[in-house]
Amino acid sequence: MFEETISGNSGNEAEPRAESESRMTIKELKEQAWERSEANLVNWKVQAGNYSREHSLALDQGMKILEKLYGVSYPDRPIVVSFHQNSRIGSQKGEPANQLIKSQHLRPEIGDVFYWLPYPKGNISEFQKIPDSDLAALLTCCIHESEHEFLQTDTFRKLTEEVEADPAITAVLSKLASGQEHFIHVTGEMVTSYLDSYCRRLLEHLQPDQESKSISRFEFKVNRQDVDDVLIAVIEEDVTTWKQNGPYTRLRRGWEDQLGGLPKSYESVPSTTVANSSEKRRGSSIYQLAREVDTTLVDEYLDQGKIIDRDFIIRLYGLVGARLSGSK
């Protein structure tokens, strides 16, 4: 799971619908959300597809490195990224699709990764050139979520649990966890985010090939039925499973603010929980801390032909813990 604000935008919600309008139905919710999303989703799909083809060499190299480090292979097909609309300006969010598909009984063919694109500034009906830095951030996030989905097996998750029980890292784990929201798996996100910076560097420094005919590692998808289904699934998951205090709360509340309300059963209950967790996230984000430390540990393991093990994670905790101490 990955969520951040890009392009220096504030993360504020788009202008809301007038409070005086009558409460909408689920059908109206879908229609209005799609009307506000379609042009932006299609724009990103086209430009992300072009960018990923031009950078197919860097993507392929980065993902092969990840396969070596995990000792697990990606599927022999493009990874399907289903695009959806984030309700907040400048905010992006990605996650493996499997959990929401299972919990809300969605069609498996929707995709492997869900990615909620940042709501744009200005007129969304007009073509907007997306900065290369934002497209690189998109692909980095797609790699991040694909690691969770395909490379982080039960063996990896068991390894992270064993490390978390090690007294040597208990103190730094406690400090890191205190700066995150309660549903974040600190060790898994730390490892994934650390590897993000390695892959991001490849994307930014390997020369793109604008004439490339290569097939991208990712297939980007925009489908009206998928957008409708995932929108309702996210809202219902937040209300029923997470009780408006989980990974989908900002998405649901953002749409509520943007549209001036939701169907009655989906509207917010008075709470300060989200505000408080937002303050935590602005402090010591595990995503940001892990991306800022030196990546020579990756080079060492690649040179020695080693896969991620207990020592790798403990040493990474040491690097991130030192970064955390130095940032205060």
pLDDT tens digits, one per residue of 302-325? 999 999 999 999 999 999 999 888
- Domain membership of residue 220 as a residue range: 2-326
Euclidean distance between CA atoms 118 and 20, whole angstroms = 27
**pTM, rounded to two decimals:** 0.87
Is pLDDT of 272 > 70?
A: no
CA distance 74 to 180: 29
Q: Compute the CA torsion angle 135, 136, 142, 144 (nearest 10 deg).
A: -150
pLDDT tens-digit series, residues 210-257: 666 677 899 999 999 999 999 999 999 999 999 998 999 999 999 998
Q: For 58-100, how does the pLDDT look when each residue is reduced to its tens digit (9 = 90+)?
A: 999 999 999 999 999 999 999 999 999 998 877 889 999 998 9
Environment class of residue 45 by beta-carbon count within 10 Å: exposed (0-12), middle (13-18) or buried (19+)? middle
Average pLDDT, the chain: 86
Residue-wise pLDDT for 100-143, tens only, equals 999 999 999 999 999 999 887 766 656 688 999 999 999 999 99
Assess contact for 117 and 40: CB atoms under 8 A: yes
Q: What percent of the chain has pLDDT over 70?
A: 85
Distance CA(271)–CA(128), nearest Å, equals 37
Residue 124's pLDDT is 60
Q: Are strands 218-221 and 113-119 parallel, antiparallel or unpaired?
A: unpaired
- 3-class secondary structure per residue, 102-170: HHHCCCHHHCCEEEEEEECCCCCCCCCCCCHHHHHHHHHHHHHHHHHHHHCCHHHHHHHHHHHCCHHHH
Tally of structural domains, the chain: 1
